[in-house]
Amino acid sequence: RDWDRLTARLAELIPEPRREEAVAFAREYDRLLARYLRGQATVALSVGAITALGLWITGFPYAASLGLIVAVFSVVPYLGLLLSLIPAVVIALMSGSVLASLVKVGAVYGVAQGLEGAVISPRIVGDSVGLHPVLVVLALAVAGFYFGFVGLLLAVPGAVGIKLLVERGLERYQASAFYQGEGAG
């Protein structure tokens, strides 16, 4: 309810000569972050649909429900996979042929997660925020290694922030007197 008033108050804390530039940076970051979140939702729905389709093709019971669970939990990297595997494994253990059902679950979830990690997420999320897929994977790997689970959640938003800072820095450099060759002599 007070968002507009809060952001206006925060903008007043920035010195007047830098205010317009800082607010433009924050707006651009907000726009890219919103695109990232929409991309994450698209990835989650895609992985859920692939899982549901794979389970349905293999004849696994409750394929649609399990696909929906995967879609919901896939919003959280890695932890979502573990949480979505629990009901699938329980269903497999209660089925008549436990080993065959576990193999089906392992194969379908493995393929779905492999596609998500190597193709779907880097393409969709990377394209949505303007990052190359290799940079998305690199950001996830580095942030996950150094900061664990929290790093996985913040990797792409952090990479987007760094990308914006580098772009703005390059723009300022190219507009500088040094780059333009002014005063050289």
For residue 185, pLDDT beyond 70: no
Higher pLDDT, 80 or 165: 165
Residue 76 banded pLDDT, cuts 50, 70, 90: confident
For residue 139, pLDDT beyond 70: yes
For residue 183, pLDDT beyond 70: no
Residue whose C-alpha is closest to residue 50's, from 84, 10, 24, 76: 84
pLDDT, position 131: 81
SS (H, E, C) 41-70: HHHHHHHHHHHHHHHHHCCCCCHHHHHHHH
Residue pLDDT, tens place only, 161-170: 999 999 999 9
pLDDT, position 134: 82
Higher pLDDT, 3 or 168: 168
Q: 184 vs 56, 130, 174, 176, 178, CA distance in Å?
A: 70, 36, 15, 12, 8
Higher pLDDT, 95 or 89: 89
Average pLDDT, the chain: 89
Total-model pTM: 0.75
pLDDT, position 92: 94
Residue pLDDT, tens place only, 15-47: 988 889 888 998 999 898 898 889 889 999 999
Q: How far apart are CA 97 and CA 46, in angstroms?
A: 29
